[in-house]
């Protein structure tokens, strides 16, 4: 009788321990942040990169607060006549005000061997992105099928960067950095996304803007991970739309507000482009060759911007900047006729 009682008490003791462990484990799972609940499945569907290689590349380029500047290149950006688009992009950093040191935090993501080899030759931080047999070598004409595929492949890669806990500024290579943009980007307030616009409409919080994913800063957190998850998940339901259109649709459908995403739409006074020139050359940080179709047209008009910048610096040295004017973007205007 005593032995049976002891056995019964032991069984009850085990049941109590198991119950406590179950409740404790359930409580931990329930209180995990949203993005951690789907990190495993999300990362498994991301891309076929070697995690260590990407982490090393990001770590080498990032600042102390895990922020990195990312640009994507293919052969069309690095090959051909001089200067190439990559040459011009780097010239902007070297000729800009407070920008040359930012090259240390720039990661070039190469989608083919030619662009990767060129990146390595230039001594930059480089990462070779696997593209699953898809040919991203040549120039991808705006809104062509290959162009749309490349934009989605880029989004998938950037989603992986966000999932790994890195903040980043994404910049197209057809963006000239003339000044350090960080003083114009809000870093003190808890903003999740700061994104460029084709034309600024006066209110940096208004969702009425036409956004442009050619330049934006994003912080890695629960909300932005959820944003990238939903953004890429809409790819197969958005035939004929580029990733920028899908992100804008999510915004107009109220998804930014649903996530309580803190967003700032960037003023073209500081982050300008060919759609809307900055009104003040003494303030402008970046110039994007948007509203332009084709590499040749972008290269021609950005070359003029680089010359304009040199003219401005010469005028500034003798305090006569009132005479400064941007050149007309003639090549880009003509590009839409073809």
Q: Domain containing 41 — which CATH number?
A: 3.90.550.10
Would the pTM of this model clear 0.85, i.e. be above it?
no
Cβ atoms of 55 and 161 closer than 8 Å: no
Torsion angle, CA of 240/116/196/242, rounded to 10 degrees?
A: 0
**Whole-number Å distance between alpha carbons of 108 and 246:** 25
Asked if the structure places residue 11 within a domain, the reply is no
Asked if the structure places residue 144 within a domain, the reply is yes
**Whole-number Å distance between alpha carbons of 33 and 48:** 26
Residue 127 has a pLDDT of 97
**Whole-number Å distance between alpha carbons of 299 and 305:** 10
Asked if the structure places residue 224 within a domain, the reply is yes
Sheet of strand 175-177: strand arrangement: 175-177, 286-288, 271-273
CA 128 to chain centre: 17
Cβ partners under 8 Å of residue 222, min gap 6: 33, 34, 35
Q: How many structural domains comprise the chain?
A: 1
Asked if the structure places residue 223 within a domain, the reply is yes
Cβ atoms of 170 and 202 closer than 8 Å: no
Residue 241 has a pLDDT of 85
218: alpha, beta or left, given left = phi > 0 and alpha = psi -120 to 50?
A: beta
**Three-state secondary structure readout of the chain:** CHHHHHHHHHHHHHHHHHHHHHHHHHHHHHCCCHHHHHHHHHHHCCCCCCHHHHHHHHHHHCCCCCEEEEEEECHHHHCCCCCCHHHHHHHHHHHCECCHHHHHHEEEEECCHHHHHHHHHCCCEEEECCCCCCCCCCCCCCCCHHHHHHHHHHHHHHHHHHHCCCEEEEECCCEEECECCHHHCCCCCCCCEEEEECCCCCCCCCCCCCEEEEEEEECCCHHHHHHHHHHHHCHHHCCCCCHHHHHHHHHHCCHHHHCCCCEEECCCCCEEECCCCCCCCCCCCEEECCCCCCHHHHHHHHHHHHHHHHHHHHHHCCCCHHHCCCCCCHHHHHHCCC
Asked if the structure places residue 29 within a domain, the reply is no
Asked if the structure places residue 214 within a domain, the reply is yes
**pLDDT in 10s for each residue of the chain, 338 residues:** 444 444 445 444 444 444 433 333 334 333 333 333 233 323 333 444 445 899 999 999 999 999 999 999 999 999 877 899 999 999 999 999 999 999 999 999 999 999 999 999 999 999 999 877 555 555 554 446 667 888 889 999 999 999 999 999 999 999 999 999 999 997 766 899 999 999 999 999 999 999 999 999 999 999 999 999 999 999 888 777 888 999 999 999 999 999 999 999 999 999 999 999 999 999 999 999 999 998 999 999 999 999 999 999 999 888 777 778 999 999 999 998 86
Expressed as residue numbers, the domain containing 286 is: 36-335
Asked if the structure places residue 161 within a domain, the reply is yes
Asked if the structure places residue 20 within a domain, the reply is no
Cβ atoms of 168 and 215 closer than 8 Å: no
Residue 144 has a pLDDT of 60
């Amino acid at each position: 009788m005593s032995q049976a009682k002891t056995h019964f008490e032991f069984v009850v003791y085990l049941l109590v321990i198991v119950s406590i462990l179950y409740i404790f484990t359930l409580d931990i799972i329930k209180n995990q942040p949203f993005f951690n609940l789907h990190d495993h499945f999300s990362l498994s569907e991301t891309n076929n990169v070697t995690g260590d290689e990407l982490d090393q590349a990001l770590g080498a380029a990032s600042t102390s607060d895990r922020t990195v500047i990312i640009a994507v290149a293919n052969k069309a950006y690095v090959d051909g006549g001089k200067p190439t688009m990559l040459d011009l992009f780097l010239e902007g950093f070297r000729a800009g005000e407070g920008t040359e040191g930012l090259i240390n935090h720039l990661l070039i993501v190469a989608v083919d061997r030619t662009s990767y080899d060129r990146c390595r030759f230039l001594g930059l931080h480089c990462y070779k992105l696997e593209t699953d047999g898809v040919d991203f070598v040549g120039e991808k004409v705006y809104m062509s099928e290959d162009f749309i595929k490349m934009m989605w492949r880029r989004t998938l890669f950037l989603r992986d960067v966000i999932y790994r806990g890195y903040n980043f500024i994404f910049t197209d290579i057809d963006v000239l950095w003339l000044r350090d943009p960080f003083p114009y980007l809000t870093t003190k307030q808890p903003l999740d996304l700061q994104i460029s616009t084709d034309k600024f409409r006066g209110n940096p919080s208004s969702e009425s803007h036409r956004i442009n994913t050619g330049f934006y800063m994003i912080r890695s957190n629960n909300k932005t991970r959820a944003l990238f998850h939903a953004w890429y998940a809409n790819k197969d339901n958005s035939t004929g739309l580029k990733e920028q259109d899908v992100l804008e649709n999510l915004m107009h459908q109220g998804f930014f507000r649903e996530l309580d995403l803190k967003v700032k739409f960037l003023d073209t006074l500081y982050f300008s482009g060919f759609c809307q020139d900055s009104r003040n050359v003494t303030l402008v940080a970046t110039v994007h060759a948007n509203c332009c179709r084709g590499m040749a047209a972008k290269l021609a008009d950005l070359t003029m911007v680089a010359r304009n910048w040199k003219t401005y610096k010469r005028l500034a040295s003798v305090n006569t900047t009132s005479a400064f004017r941007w050149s007309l973007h003639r090549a880009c205007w003509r590009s839409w006729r073809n």
